[in-house]
Structure formats: structure tokens, C-alpha cells
Amino acid sequence: MSNSSGKTFRTTSFGTSHGKAIGAIVDGCPANLDLNEEDIQKELDKRKPGTSKITSPRKEADKIEILSGLFNGKTDGTPICGVVYNKNQVSKDYEGIKNTPRPGHGDLGWIEKYGNYNYNGGGRGSGRVSIGHVIGGAIAKKLLQETYNIKVISHVVQIGNIKTSSTDINEIEEKVQLNDVRCCDKEAGKAMEKLILEKKAEGDSVGGIVETIAVNVPAGIGEPVFGKLDGDISKALMEIGSVKGVEIGLGFDVATASASEINDEFYYKKDKILTKTNNSGGILGGISNGMPIVTRIAVKPTPSISKNQNTIDLSKGEDCIINIEGRHDPCICPRITTVSESTIAMVLADHMIRSGFIHPNDLDKMKK
């Protein structure tokens, strides 16, 4: 099984929902980055459930402990192992699914492929596994911010049929905190919250779209054939649980457009080369062009619902009905924003090092 992501800035994740611990080793972060547990904790806190009525009521403390990789408050170039010890996981909820794979979940695939499936809490198929992504992402974010002031920000742009109005890119970071949905549009945010609570009441769930934007990424990262920046971003985003579609820039709207309408024209602003529009979402020919990198993901409704569903009973070899107990998110989009930010930050950190922008071993060598 492959549990590593990235080539040079490389995150290797481990752990299951209800095991002893969940965490990640982040390898390839250069030395002399100021880093402490709080830098990671604040990202984990954004990801964790139980913080509002529209997320799962599960209380997960998710306290990070860094076991290695720091010396005198800074990274020292050695691998950073971050661990969250699991606590109070309630495994009894899951005994029922041992033989009855949940529709929309990967249970059956795990059973067939590995033959020894830790079904408790969905095991390593659980959304809790994204704690590893967030550990890697928090370090990547700090690295990007300290070296190039790069920021990676996610917000919810659609839940069900409710869409946001467009948002000024500079206001997202602030506005996203206005509501629990992490939507920058006040009116839409309210409607989204209402819809989510309705679905929750029905024992159902709803999908949505999350947009993630990275600003201040310099022109020149990404490799133009196999190794395109948008290729690596798409892979990373699609590997987040529940994601079924990825867009860069205009995304699927290019299908209905003519080139004369959407080609981003170049112009000089003093010595700097800019484009009049950013329909390409900051990436052309697989390489960043200095404009904001804009991505969107389609997030499916959380498959765990309490409504009756048809499935099979593997122990009996016959069809059956289940309804899934437990405390699940009626819409995962708000919490997935943090994972999406993490994911993109890891890809960017990896490419920034590999393209010669960030020193691979020692940040202090960049100051000379």
C-alpha cells in the first residue's frame, strides 16, 4: 500500500480511526523553519468535528505530539513525526458493519483486497485519516508562508443547489470565518446551514463544492509533461475521501467556451508580466504563471446515513438492509476545507523545493 505523498517534501501517513494513534512522518522539510506543536494544532482544530451543530457531534481532542525533527524550536532537516493518540473511540457502533459493507463507502474494497479489514470506525478508510494530511499540510503551509508569503485558503462555494456569489480573493481568509459553513457569502451561508440541518433531520446528507486558492505562488513551478502542477494537484485533491471531481481555473466551463473568449491575454504592468483574466487558474502548460492558483472539488454527500439502505450480508451470502448508527457529518464540506488547504500546500511545498525556489536542506542558506 502506498501511504506516501510527494517526492521531495514527502508525507507518509499511518494509523486508523480506532487504533492507538494516527499520524504522519514529514520528510524533506528543510532545516531552520520555526515550528512548534501549536502550528499544527491550530490546523487540526479547524479540521476536528464537534465544533458546531452542522458537523458530527463526536468530540475528538486530536492533540498533536511531535516526536522528532525539531531542535531549538526549529526544524533540523530530519523527519518530523507527528502523532495524535486516539481517545474515547466507540468501536461498538461498528460491529454491525463487519459483514455488511456500507453503500458509498470503501468497506468492500478493503475486505476483498486485504482480507483483514479493521472495520472499527472505518479503519484506515475513515475520514480521521486526514489527520495525517493536515499534519503534513500545516508544516507545508508554514514553510510556504515563511519563505514566499504564499497562502492557501479554502472556502465552500456550493452546498446542494445553493451557490455563493463571487468573492474578492483578498477577503476570503477573513470572511470564511463568519459562519460554520466556511462560506464567504453571508446570505448563501445561512441557506446552506439551513439545508444541512434539514438533511441531518432526515437522516440524510448533502454534497457541495469547495474552492481552494493559493496566492503569491511564483511563476515557474510544475513540470511540463508528466509532472504538471495541475496533475499533481488533481491527484492530491482526488485522494481526499468523498471527492469525485476536480477543476482548475474555469474547469468544466471551458467546454462551452471559445478560445477567443477565455485565452488569458498577457500584458505588461511596468516590468511585470500579468494576464488580464485568470481563466487558466494560475497554471498554463503545467507550470505556474504567477497568478492565483484556483481549484475546485466536487464533494459527495457523506455516505454514512441513518436512512435504510440495501446492501449485502457477507456472512450469510444474501441481501439485507442496514441503517448506519453513529454520529456522522450531514455535510463534510466545511471540514474538508482544511484538508484541501493541506493537500494543496503539500503539493506546492514539494514543487517549490524541486524547482529551486526553496533550498532543499537549510532555509538559512536562502538569506545569503
Angstrom CA distances, 173 to 165, 182, 225, stand at 16, 10, 33
Does the footprint of its own copies cover residue 117 (CB under 8 A)?
yes
159 vs 215 by CB, closer to its own copies: 159
Query: Nearest-5° angle of CA 355, CA 357, CA 363?
Result: 130
Strand-pair partners of 210? 156, 297
Q: Site residues for its own copies, window 209-248 (CB under 8 A)?
A: 209, 219-220, 222-228, 230-239, 241, 244-248
In the complex, least distance from residue 264 CB atom to its own copies, rounded to whole angstroms: 6
Instruction: Give the one residue of 88, 149, 317, 368 binding its own copies; rule: CB under 8 A.
Output: 317
Report the C-alpha dihedral over residues 224, 345, 52, 191, rounded to 10 degrees. Answer: -30
- 34 is an interface residue for its own copies by CB under 8 A: no
CB of 28 to its own copies, least distance (A): 6
- Lookup result for grid cell 511545498: 349
In a 10 Å sphere around its CB, with 0-12 CB exposed, 13-18 middle and 19+ buried, how is residue 249 labelled? buried
By CB under 8 A, tell whether 326 contacts its own copies.
Answer: no
Could you tell me which stretch among 36-44, 51-59, 147-155, 276-284 binds its own copies (CB under 8 A)?
276-284
Our finding on whether 92 is near its own copies (CB under 8 A) is no
Distance, in Å, from the CA atom of 114 to the CA atom of 143, rounded to the nearest integer, reads 37
Among residue numbers 54 through 73, which ones bind its own copies (CB under 8 A)? 65-69, 71-72
Estimate the crossing angle of helix 333-354 against helix 229-238, to 10 degrees. Answer: 150
Of the two residues 41 and 355, which places its CB atom closer to its own copies in the complex?
A: 355
Binders of its own copies in range 2-21 (CB under 8 A): 2-5, 7-8, 10-16, 19-21
DSSP 8-state secondary structure symbol assigned to residue 195: H
Using rule CB under 8 A, residue 282 touches its own copies: no
Is residue 79 a contact residue for its own copies (CB under 8 A)?
A: yes
204-243 per-residue burial string, b: 16 or more CB within 10 A, e: under 16 = ebbbbbbbbbbbebeeebbeeeeebbbbbbbebbeebbbb
The grid cell for 170 is: 483578498
Torsion sign across C-alpha atoms 71, 43, 28, 359: negative
Site for its own copies in 340-359 (CB under 8 A): 354-356, 359
Specify which residues 286 forms β-bridges with: none
Examine residue 115 and tell whether it contacts its own copies (CB under 8 A). Answer: yes
**Residues of this chain, 155-214, that bind its own copies according to CB under 8 A:** 158-161, 199, 204-209
By CB under 8 A, the count of residues binding its own copies is 154
Please state the closest distance from residue 235 (CB atom) to its own copies, in A: 4
Residue 129 as a binder of its own copies (CB under 8 A): the answer is: yes
Asked whether position 271 contacts its own copies by CB under 8 A, the answer is yes
- Using the rule CB under 8 A, which residue among 147, 179, 302, 337 binds its own copies? 302
Question: 44, 153 in Cβ contact below 8 A?
Answer: no
> Least CB distance from residue 176 to its own copies, whole Å?
18
CB of 263 to its own copies, least distance (A): 4
* Closer CB to its own copies, 3 or 51, in the complex: 3
Residue 13 and residue 137 in contact, taking contact as beta carbons nearer than 8 Å: no
Exactly one of 37, 45, 96, 103 binds its own copies (CB under 8 A); which one?
A: 103
Q: How many CA atoms lie within 13 A of 337 on its CB side?
A: 29
Q: Which is nearer to its own copies, 173 or 306 (CB)?
A: 306
> CB of 41: closest distance to its own copies in angstroms?
17
